[in-house]
Amino acid sequence: VFIAQSRASGSHRDVEDEELTRIFVMIPKSYTEEDLREKFKMYGDIEYCSIIKNKTTGESKGLGYVRYLKPSQAARAIEECDRSYRAILAEPKNKSSESFEHDYYSNSTRQEPRGNTLPFCGQPEFCGFEKNESRIQESVSKRLSVVSRLPFIQEQLFALFDIVPGLEYCDVQRDPHTNSGYAVIQYSTAASAIYAKYKLHGFEYPPGNRLTVIFLEDGSDSSE
């Protein structure tokens, strides 16, 4: 069972490949592609690894990509890898790597780091990055908030989010003043919630009505 994509986004496999199987990570500059593969192979079957290098000097920028065969493997890597890697889903290849790197770093000033550790502190470039430019990914949880300008029907919204395995409950609420839709969705694992958010945020349901899906704090330890 697949969630339908808009016609403009191409085939399901193309979208899945671009958006859900490739992750972007921060690594020590000493890492080789083999080192990167060795660190991330425990989460699934890797199609390829690549390290971003300075075009002039050939030196590693301390950033890399890992492409998995399945979206679930990429989600697991994001959820379970050491937080020092700052793993996120990579932008589709049609967005230039330079602009993506800029966005990745520019997010660093928006909030404080999770946890108090400074991993890779034996390497000066990592200590400097952690203290001055700590890019923090969105706080992930098993619970999602869904907002719509149209009210939801409980059974229909449940059926939509139940496409992703692990749905535990769907609580639909309605604002009597605005008649907009609001719901709280919870999955059994953060990996399922990650998958549901990236598949359904911006999804038109019903057609013409875009859903806004964000993570909600679920009370669990964010470091886990």
Domain holding 185, by residue range, is 143-215
Q: Measure CA 115 to chain center.
A: 19
pLDDT of residue 138: 60
* CA-angle at 84, arms to 118 and 61, nearest 5°: 100
What CATH number is attached to the domain comprising 200? Answer: 3.30.70.330
Within 4-134, strands assigned E span 22-26, 46-53, 60-68, 88-89
Which of 73, 89, 105 terminates a domain? The answer is 89
Which of 89, 106, 131 terminates a domain? The answer is 89
Q: What's the sign of the alpha-carbon dihedral 209, 88, 141, 133?
A: negative
Q: Encode the chain (224 residues) as per-residue pLDDT tens digits.
A: 545 555 555 544 554 555 789 999 999 999 999 999 999 999 999 999 999 998 889 899 999 999 999 988 998 999 899 988 988 888 766 555 566 666 565 554 344 444 433 444 444 444 444 444 344 456 788 999 999 888 888 888 999 999 888 999 999 987 667 778 899 999 999 888 999 998 899 988 878 888 999 998 866 654 54
HSE, side-chain direction, 13 A CA sphere, residue 160? 23
Q: Which of 207, 153, 205 is nearest to 183 (CA)?
A: 153
106 within domain boundaries: no
Question: How many structural domains compose the chain?
Answer: 2
